[in-house]
Every structure is written in structure tokens, then in C-alpha cells.
Amino acid sequence: MTTVELDLLPATQLRAATARRLSRDLREKVPLARQGEYEANGWVVDKVLKSAVWMRRPKSHGLAFEDRVWAMCARLGFSSMNRTRELKIRYGKSDNETKQLDVFAADDDVVLVIECKSSDKDQAPTYAFKTEIESIQGYRKGVTRQLRELFPDHKVKFVFATNNIGVSEETRERISNADIAYLDEESVAYYHELADHLGVAAKYQFLGNLFQGDKIQAMDATVAAIQGKMGGHTYYSFAIEPDRLLKLAYVLHRNNANSQWMPTYQRVIKRSRLKRVTEFVGRGGFFPNSLIINIETGRRGLRFERATTQAGESRLGVLHLPQKYRSAYVIDGQHRLYGFANSARANTELLPVVAFVDLPGDKQLELFMQINENQQAVPKNLRLTLKADLEWTSIDLRRRAQALKLKVAQQLGERKSSPLRGRVILGEEKSTDRLCITLDAINRGIDRGRFIGEFTSSEMKKVGSFYRGSNEATLRPLTEFLEYCFDHARDRLPLQWNAGKGEGGFVFTNPGTEAMLRVVGDIVDFLADQGKLDARVNTPKETFAQVREILDPLLNHLAPLSVEDIAEFKSWFGSGGPTKYLRRFQAALVECVDGFMPDGFDEWKANQEKQFNQESYSMINDIENHMKQDIRRRLQDRFRGTWIKDGVPKAVYARAESLRAEKQYEAPEGVTVDWWDCLYLIDYHSIMQQGSKALWDEIYDEAYTLPSDRKAGAWKSKLSWVVTLNEVRKKTHHSGGEAVTEEEYAFLQTLHSHFDLGGTGRND
């Protein structure tokens, strides 16, 4: 079999070709005489010349995606690319045994053969791609043999790329088992975004994904290092050239393209920040602080040749790093590392590194959170996403259940099969008119819909309607069931679905989504009580078939609502909105479904007097206990031995100390009363207002400013909620107190959720 010459584009033409590939249109220069012929085939005139005309036509869906993949490779620094879309290569002995390659890309070390599939359907179809995978396996050996003649000593990787197509976990696993890499449109978009920020240095991330665990040829993997222990974990301290570390390193960005189980916590590298770092390095600047990484060895450990010298508990020696792609995860310092990517000093400068070994994913994430706690604020939506990863395997069952609720919320926003995809804000995405549902709203709906159940830190108090004994067993059935519910609601309420939150939409917004989840929970419980279903046993589809019959009357009620009715719903904003939505939804079902009476609805309808007091009492205790512990810790961390004098107003301390003395006098023998236990709730208001705005910003602002108060003018006004809380406390903790209103109850729920104190345990 003779080698076939490949028609590749000269490197000097890559930039212009990339621009053409990224264009939405095909453009072609034709003689004036052929203008009519082209127009008959759907082309339009772009520019008229003296003797020719430039024509253009929108690219087909599939062609546009193929070009985007091609452009991604070019922007990542692959210098050998197919010139046309008709590149073919022989894989057998016969002349007809040739394979057309959608995208061909090669650099000094790697060759990629990429096959692209795209769908232009409004809703992404799901394909198994059995034939396509078998086809790649059939021609791979022959194509690889040919390519290695042209590109000796190169790694050859086959890649399957899809756009707007649902690919199940089983299909992904089959692709992986066939040793084929997989990319979807979100992965392609991610690498384009990374190329915007990093340029060709982004290729390290790409190669880390494609060749994870593969050996990097001709790399010196030894460094002089110090071995030690920190927090019970082995670590190594060493210095290394950025050029070497970049080949090993991988940054776990929080992005749909990286949403597998391994916790992904870093925010995408900021171009402006990277530019500043690069310029700083170019001027001869250096970073004395260490990068923090975790080295993955597959539990085999690292080879460390100890020197005879030992200093204290640390040991000196030579460390052998793994010669593998994606073996070093960057926990902290991504900008410092990638700032060297395009620097002439990348192979001469030395970066200090602290490297942990085989640190579990949740520990890496916990370390990242600790490092960033007092640095650049991690937005709540991203923090909740990280919380789902961090607490997934927590020994605290309450935290583990919370992680499950958040993971379901996350999947409803990420999965291609979910109707809420593109409507749920993920990571650091910015809210828009349609992208407006937060993870927190879905989390509250799942919590208060009783799908998971109630837990203490060590045991289950009450099993939820969908809980199947573990997070892993529950995640998929509950997610699929809720997808069925929202898909049905979307089909039955097309005007609501198409309306943005500012265009009369109210169902597919935060309060509407939370209320819909809660009323679906009511329906599941109602049917379970009647013995008609067991969501822990039935398939999601079977459960939905039963739920739909009762859900339909609600959707029938919502579909024809007048402009005035919709305006009433939209007036219920703020923390009390979801509860008002819920009561309205429940009322529609109570009227037309025999026997449907959710817990608490009849009491709410008949008499709302003091119905919220008991649980409000518990929530206030939770909030007060949290503030008591947290504020003291923050003051002690900030001021150390002088925390009382520097952090507590003299009058507050004097009054609490006086009360402490009275209580100590009356206390039984052996009991010691702490003055901090003698503070009133309103005292925390005075303590947090002590000092300057700078002190507030440093230790309180992120934790104690409610989202609704972020834009408040004066910093002290951000604490007005403490005064409100104290007024509500008088109703619950004083004899003869008044009834807590529904708005006040919702206010407490907001605080309870803000401080991540777990579910409220209510059944309404």
C-alpha cells in the first residue's frame, strides 16, 4: 500500500482560513456570467467587482459545526490542517478503501482525526452512534499506519464530535471503550473561549483531555524536592520550569464541558488578568508564592529518591514526576502558570510549587475554597455548584442530601434532554431575560417538595418520595422525572415558555419554578398516599404518567390567565413570592381534584394566625446560633488576642459581662458562664457595625450581606435585616407574641437558606 500525500494548508495561510471557517457564510468569487446560476442555488450577491462578483450563502448546520471544530484546532496551535473538506486517505489495499476526513490536525507531537455529526432539530435528538463507532474501529488501523508514515513518532487520536445531539452515558462509555475521544458543542465552545484567553497555550488543556494518562515523550521528569506532611497529607515542595509543568498541568474549570464527576472548581482564566501577568513576567517580574497542585498517580505513589540529609521532619531528595498528560491538577495559581505560556522565560524561569499527591477530589475542592475564602469572592451560584461536589460523599447525611438536591438542580440546567437547559444559570453565567432560574430556586423547590427526605447528620428522619437509599441511586430517576414534568409544562404553556421574565412570564422564573417543584411534590405524595404509585420503585416515566393526570388541571388553569392575573403573580417578588405562587397553584388543584389537600393548606386557608410561629422559632434559633459561633470565629481570626477590645463595642461587652456575673452567681457548681453567651440578638448588629467600612468589607460583607442588599448605598444599611430579624424574634420568643406573617416567614426562609442551614422541615 503506497503512502498517500495529504493536501494540507500551508501554515502561513492558517489565519485567513480560520476566519473563513468561523464565518457563518460560504463566500465564493465567480464570473459575472455565472451570477444567475449561483442565485438559482440560493446564493446572494455580497460584492460586485468589474468582471466578477462575490457570492455568499449561509452554511448548513453540519458544515458550520465542522468548520468550528477545524477553527478550534487551528486556534489551539495545530499547524498542519486539511486544506479542503475533501481530504481522503487510504486505509486498505483497494483503491476504494479510502476515508474522507472531516477535520485533520497535526502539530509536532500529535495527529488528530475528527469526525463531526450535527443536528438542526429544535430539540436535540438522542443517537447511539453504533454504526459510526464501528466504522471508525474498522478504518482506524489502516489510517493510523498511513499517518505514522507521514508523521513518525506522533500520537494519533481519533475524535468524535457532535453538535445539538443527546449522547447518553452508555454511548459515551462505548465511545471511550473504543479508545475514541468525544467532544460536544460545549467542549468546542469552551476551547474557543480558552483560546481567546490563552492563545495556543490553551492546547495544553485540550491535550490533557484527549491524552489523559498517556506518556509525554522525551520529557525530563525529575526535580529536586523536599518531602513533608501537611494536614495528614504528603506533599512535595520544589521549583520547576513553567514549560515542563504546563505539559503536565490541567485546570479544572467549572464549565459544562468539564461537568463529569471530578469536581471542577476553577473559573475560566481571565484574559485581562492573564495579560497583566504576562506583561509582569516580560518585565522580569517573579512570583515568590507557590503554586498549589495535586499530582494524580492512580494510587501508585511517586518515586522519591531520598538524600542522606534530613532536616527535622522533612526529607530532601529527587522527585520523579509522572511523564503523563493531565497528571497535575492546578488548585491555585492558574494565572501565574499560564502567564508564562507565551514567555521566552518559560523554559528558564523556575516556579515554586507545593504538590500534594493523590488528594481526593473533595479535598482539592475544599482546599480551593479555603484559599479563596478571603480573596476574590466566589459567587453564590458557583458556590452552590461547588457545594454539590464537595459534599457528595460527606459523612454528614444532611450535607450529603443537600449535595444531591444541588446536583439535580445542576443537571436540570446542563443535560441536553432537560427542557430547562439554557434557562438555568450555571457557574458564573450572567442572568438574562430567559436565562433567569438559579440553582438556589430549584434546590429550594426540591427540598420543600420532599423528594429527598429529612436527615440529621447521622440518620434519616423521614424518607423522601424519590429517595432510593443513596445519592447515586436517586440522582438519575429524580432528574429524569422532573425533566418529564417541565417538558410537559413547556408544551402545555407555550406562551409562558416563550415569554422572558420581563415579558409577562411568571411560570419559568425563580418563584414559579420553585412553586412548580413543590406542587409536583404534593401530587407525588397524594398519589403515594392513595397507593397509586411508589416513585422509589416505579420508573420515572411510569411515575410521570400518574402525576400528569393531576398536573394537567393546574396547567389548564394557568394557560388562559388574563394580563391582570399574570400581573398579580409578577407582583409577588422577593422572598415571599414562591409561597404565594405555591398557594395559588395548590388552590387550583384543590378545587378540581377530589381529596387533594396538601399538608397545611386547609389551615392556611381557614386561619393563618400563628401558623408560621413554631417553625419560625426554630429557624430563628438556627440563625442566632450560627451568628453566635461564626461572628466570634471571624473576630478571633482577624484580631487574635485583642478580638474583644478591637471587635466588640465597649457598651455591648459591659452589659453582657454584667449579665454573665448575675448568671454565674445563680449557676450550679462546676458550671462556667461565658459572657459571649449573654449577648442579645441585636448585639450582633452593634458588633458588626463596630469599626470602619474596610473592616466590614474584610470580614463580614460576603457572608452577611443578603443578595437583595448588594447594591445598598451605605454599608451599615446592609445590616438592616438584623433589626427586622430581632422584631420577628419578639413574636416567637416572647410570651404573648403576635403571629408571624407569611412575608416574615418567607424572610426567615431566605435567611435560613442564605446561611446554608439546611431544609426547614415544613411540609407545605
Domain edges within the chain: 8-24+59-183, 213-372, 380-606, 613-754
> What pLDDT score was predicted for residue 103?
97
> What pLDDT score was predicted for residue 151?
92
Please write the tens of the pLDDT for every residue from 316-326: 999 999 988 88
- Specify whether the CB–CB gap between 400 and 384 falls below 8 A: no
Please write the tens of the pLDDT for every residue from 238-280: 999 888 888 888 775 544 444 443 344 344 445 554 555 556 6
> What pLDDT score was predicted for residue 449?
96
Range name among 24-33, 109-118, 576-585 with the lowest pLDDT average: 576-585
The percentage of the chain sitting over the pLDDT mark of 70, rounded to a whole number, equals: 88
pTM reported for the whole predicted model:
0.56
> What pLDDT score was predicted for residue 763?
39
Please write the tens of the pLDDT for every residue from 469-480: 999 999 999 999
Residue of 17 and 202 predicted with greater confidence: 17
299-to-296, 318, 527 alpha-carbon distances in Å: 8, 19, 48
Crossing angle for the helix pair 471-492 and 397-414, nearest 10 degrees? 40
- Specify whether the CB–CB gap between 132 and 159 falls below 8 A: no
pLDDT band with cut points at 50, 70 and 90 for residue 569:
confident
The yes-or-no verdict on residue 9 having pLDDT over 80 is: yes
464-to-411, 453, 478 alpha-carbon distances in Å: 19, 4, 11
The yes-or-no verdict on residue 285 having pLDDT over 90 is: no
The stretch 420-445 carries a mean pLDDT of 87
Q: Alpha-carbon distance 143 to 145, whole Å?
A: 5
Domain 8-24+59-183: give its CATH architecture: 3-Layer(aba) Sandwich (3.40)
Q: Alpha-carbon distance 73 to 18, whole Å?
A: 9
Q: Alpha-carbon distance 412 to 430, whole Å?
A: 17
- Specify whether the CB–CB gap between 165 and 126 falls below 8 A: yes
The yes-or-no verdict on residue 10 having pLDDT over 70 is: yes
Q: Alpha-carbon distance 417 to 550, whole Å?
A: 23
β strands within 271-420, DSSP E: 291-295, 303-311, 314-320, 328-332, 351-357
> What pLDDT score was predicted for residue 402?
93
Range name among 163-167, 288-292, 714-718 with the lowest pLDDT average: 288-292
DSSP strand pairing (103-106 vs 110-118): antiparallel
> What pLDDT score was predicted for residue 260?
40
Give the N- to C-terminal CA distance of the chain in Å, as an integer: 74
Ramachandran quadrant class, 309 (left: phi over 0; alpha: psi -120 to 50; beta: rest):
beta
Q: Alpha-carbon distance 57 to 595, whole Å?
A: 61
